[in-house]
Chain A
Amino acid sequence: MNRALMLVLLAVLAIAAPFYVYPILLMTVLSYVVFASSFNLLLGYAGLLCFGHAMFFGTAAYFAGWLLKNTALSIELCFLLSALSMAALGWVVGLIAARRGGIQFAMITLAISQFIYFLLLRAPFTGGEDGLQRIPRSALFGMFDVSSNLALYYVILAFSVLAILVFYRVVHSPFGEVLKAIRDNEARVESLGFIPERFKVLALTLSAGLAGLAGAMKAAAYQIATLHDVSFHISGTIIFMTLLGGLGTLTGPMVGAAMIVLLNDYLAQYGEWALIIQGAVFLVVILFFRKGVVGEIEARLKKPGRV
């Protein structure tokens, strides 16, 4: 009952928001919310720390940008193709990295992402240091003009809701149950007759697909795609958003993502002070919310004495 009420409230808020807040900022929030969920699927539910998650986000930004600029595909197809192609990339990365766990997995994914960064820097169609600029917004279903910020916001909102539903379903599926078991004790899962790598490869495929959607949405919102989107800075940011919101919680990383995007936007006006204020905010969160913001709230709400 409570939860239904929350969802209704959230829906009303999401629909009304662009009339009060700059839609591009909201679209950024949504992109990062989806991106953070994709990361959460790996780290929170499969125990896989991907150090180069930006490779899916950033490559998809380029890919979607290229599609929008050079083809007549409608915008929803550009989003879907970006997600699918990144799922394929995730599958390949999985085949290379999934046999390893822990820090080795992190290092391999980092290495692959650096390699992709280099490829994109050198590729003829990425615009080098400038990136892809003035990416157009093609019509939805080839019919509805969504080139205004307001219209695009609702498209991106719909895709984000869809992505979060996919994420929710995956972690609450029979597959998700095995995934969580692998996170908790991989050797035990193998001893029960499962081949853990296969599950990790599938998790990476799904996660990369969601990250790809996030990157494509961001490219459509900003109308640019740059190397920054593929950089380690973004990979690091998403880890941080996840930890800030609460690792291993369903909604924590989404909340963390929204908090950081909004905070960065707000702090932009303070110039150099932004970094110091940001640092102070993070320090407070780390000191008083050890399980992340949502993790801590969940822990406090749990009735004590419950076994």
Chain B
Amino acid sequence: MTQSDYALEARNLSKSFGGFHAVKTVNLKVRRGSIHALIGPNGAGKTTCFNLLTKTLTPTEGQVLLDGQDITGLRSAQVARMGLVRSFQISATFPHLTCLENVRVALQSNHGTAFKFWRSLRAVEGLNARARALLEQVGLAGREDTLATELSYGKKRALEIATTLALDPKVMLLDEPTAGMGHEDVEPITDLIRQVSAGRTILIVEHNLSVVSSLCERITVLQHGEVLTEGTYDAVSNDPEVITAYMGGVDD
């Protein structure tokens, strides 16, 4: 299989904080067009991996490749512009902006208006239609003028996905998109992720295993910063090592 079959690849990725190895020589290949899960007990290093892949953190060692191209030396803003966009584990909205403005900020990323301090907001009104469409897509129709801080937790996560989608990313990294959500919100978000996965590659950290099993073709299990195993949901969930790892690690 050639390199370009993988949208995202980590080679011997490592990160240590002081003497503590949060991520140790992780090798990960995410096939283009797939939904790939990264799971593991709390503290396994999943978020740190995400931070390394999107260059939010600089790896101590190893490389990150996007479409076969080495992006290890770039900063996260550049990586985002190349089509690798993430969401955050702790919902990352702009609380004092309205939902419409939240999405519009992201749309400005490719619009060339972001530094125009002398223009009125009319300069970005052309983005409103697209912003509304994105809000509608994630179930936030009619909430354009609501401040993000006033949304329920589940709706905030939805807004974050709309913001991420605004960049039309090739590769999306979602860090626990359903964490902390009520039952009624999990299914719509799962459906939404499936819907937007068309034409995209998605790497997702998720504790909810039913979400994982319904969405993901491949699963990588992380433990103590290292890859424990990788495979299909069935293979992984019957792996005795994985079962032990979870028994000893998960508190929910």
Contacts and interface: CB of A to CB of B under 8 A. Distances in A.
Interface of A: 169-170, 172-178, 180-181, 183-185, 187-195, 198-199, 202, 206, 248, 307
Contacts of A192: 77, 80, 85, 105-106, 109, 163, 166-167
Interface string B75-91: 11110110001101000
B21 to A, nearest CB: 23
Given A187-B88, A192-B167, A173 B120 contact: yes
A162 to B, nearest CB: 13
A177 B121 contact: yes
Given A174-B113, A181-B105, A191 B76 contact: yes
Given A190-B77, A307-B146, A175 B97 contact: no
A207 B122 CA distance: 23
Contact of A169 (B106, B111, B117): B117
Given A190-B76, A307-B146, 4 more contacts: A177-B124, A180-B96, A191-B80, A199-B114
Contact of B114 (A170, A172, A175): A175
Interface in B20-77: 54, 56, 75-77
Given A191-B86, A192-B80, A177 B101 contact: yes
B15 interface: no
B82 to A, nearest CB: 9
A225 B195 CA distance: 65
B94 A194 contact: no
B115 A189 contact: no
B250 interface: no
A185 B148 CA distance: 12
Contacts of A307: 146, 150
Given A169-B118, A174-B114, A184 B108 contact: no
A145 to B, nearest CB: 33
A184 B96 contact: yes
Contact of A177 (B85, B108, B110): B108
A172 B121 contact: yes
A194 to B, nearest CB: 6
Contacts of B108: 174, 177-178
Contacts of B118: 169-170, 173
10 contacts: A169-B117, A170-B118, A175-B113, A176-B117, A177-B108, A178-B114, A181-B97, A185-B92, A190-B77, A198-B115
A184 B93 CA distance: 8
Nearest to B82: A193
Contacts of A181: 94, 97, 101-102, 105
Interface of A is mostly: helix
B123 interface: yes
B119 interface: yes
Nearest to B106: A192
B166 to A, nearest CB: 8
A187 B92 contact: yes
B95 interface: yes
Interface centre among A175, A181, A187 (most CB of B within 10 A): A181
A188 B85 contact: no
Interface centre among A172, A189, A192, A199 (most CB of B within 10 A): A192
A169 B113 CA distance: 14
B121 to A, nearest CB: 6
A195 B108 CA distance: 13
A-B pairs with lowest CB-CB distance, top 9: A193-B80, A175-B117, A184-B94, A174-B113, A188-B92, A193-B109, A193-B81, A181-B105, A181-B94
B149 to A, nearest CB: 9
Given A181-B105, A184-B95, A192-B167, A202 B115 contact: yes
Given A175-B117, A180-B94, A194 B109 contact: yes
B75 A180 contact: no
B93 A177 contact: no
B87 to A, nearest CB: 8
A189 B105 contact: yes
A177 B56 CA distance: 23
Contacts of B95: 184-185
A183 B97 CA distance: 10
B207 interface: no
Nearest to B112: A174
B244 to A, nearest CB: 35
Contacts of A178: 105, 108, 114
Contacts of B110: 193
A237 to B, nearest CB: 26
A162 B124 CA distance: 24
A181 B93 CA distance: 9
A299 to B, nearest CB: 13
A192 B101 CA distance: 14
A140 to B, nearest CB: 25
Interface centre among A191, A195, A198, A307 (most CB of B within 10 A): A191
A202 B104 contact: no
A189 B75 CA distance: 13
